Homo-oligomer: A and B are copies of this chain.
Amino acid sequence: MKVPSLLIDKAKSVANIERMLQKAQDSGCVLRPHFKTHQSHETARWFRELGIRKIAVSSVSMAQYFAADGWKDIMIAFPVNLREMEEINELAGKVRAGILISSKGVTSMLRNKLKNPVDLYLKVDVGTHRTGFDPQEITSIEKELEDAGKNEMLTFRGFIAHAGHTYQTGSKDEVKAIYEQGSQILKQLRNHFSSCFPGIIISWGDTPSCSIIDDFSGIDELRPGNFVYYDLMQWQLGACKLEEIAIAVAAPVVAVHPGRQEAVVYCGAVHLSKEYLVTSSGEKIFGMVVFVDEHKKWSFPPSMLWVDRLSQEHGILRGPVEIIRELKAGQLLGVLPVHSCLAVHALRD
């Protein structure tokens, strides 16, 4: 490892997948994992070996990437980009493709634009206020589904939600409350529309709630993504243990400044992203430093060493002087990222 690159612990990752799959099965849900976190054919195959066949992605290009490795049931869990109709049509000619509508009037804009059948999902805003239909506005939803009914290439399959506001919580109880409220909204919508659209499903996302909640009875499908590797943000939210984080970024030491209790690694904002945690004392942390052995396995230092700040390629580490002064230029460290999705996107092949 000469430059910043991904270190993946397969055993930890497979254990994370197995645990989530077991939970989904115990709750009678289909697990449709979100593959935006790993964006990797190799990691995707670990899911396939466990019997998973349905996936979600967040762009048309990711859908193409996974279709090329034999995935046949792909939901593009991002509001449909009308500028990519050609690519969506091509994809839907090869695999079962799902698209997402998340605001009024977009379904009618698909008229005469689809050349192959696609599954349609409606995104519901369960409180995150990122995007999606307001569940109170039943008339808007009815209008959208009416427009869908006029398009013979579209089949409405159900409602999906991503409770991203779980990322703003401070306790597991808050996450549970968000799930209770959000899942009720979806269940009510399914009840309301299932007479007209028999067999429609409700699909629930977000790794914090999927990790923290044990019983998803009544939900048809789970779409977490980040759990495959987890990261420091999930750890801070209580969604995983530090030892369950299955990813680190290889970071060569390039300068050591014991007098300042700092060292510099070649691993910066373009590798880790500028996502940070705020500690209980109000300090920003851009990553946690681990030691890396010759087998690319990592272990934790005796005291915490963290990424204190970042510039484009520089990561500035801080920690106890007795650890810093032992570091050597040329040595390889690892950094557990704050947000694995962003680090993976930056460093994927």
Contacts and interface: CB of A to CB of B under 8 A. Distances in A.
B264 A130 contact: yes
Contacts of A295: none
B255 A2 contact: no
A346 interface: yes
Interface in A78-92: 78-84, 87
A2 B81 contact: yes
Given A330-B109, A345-B312, A254 B59 contact: no
Given A264-B130, A329-B105, A346-B270, A254 B79 contact: yes
A102 interface: yes
Nearest to A332: B83
Of the four ranges (under 10, 10 to 19, 20 to 34, 35 or more), the interface on chain A belongs to 35 or more
A211 interface: no
B257 A83 contact: no
In this complex, which of A252, A270, A312, A332 has the most chain B Cβ atoms within 10 angstroms of its Cβ? Answer: A312
Contact of A102 (B3, B106, B130, B254): B254
A274 interface: yes
B3 A81 contact: yes
A111 to B, nearest CB: 13
A192 to B, nearest CB: 21
A256 interface: yes
B270 A345 contact: yes
Interface of A: 1-3, 36, 58-61, 78-84, 87, 102-106, 109, 129-131, 134, 164, 252, 254-257, 259-260, 262, 264, 266, 269-270, 273-275, 309, 311-314, 316, 329-330, 332, 341-342, 345-346
Given A36-B312, A102-B254, 11 more contacts: A3-B83, A3-B84, A36-B313, A59-B313, A80-B254, A83-B330, A103-B256, A104-B256, A131-B314, A269-B275, A270-B345
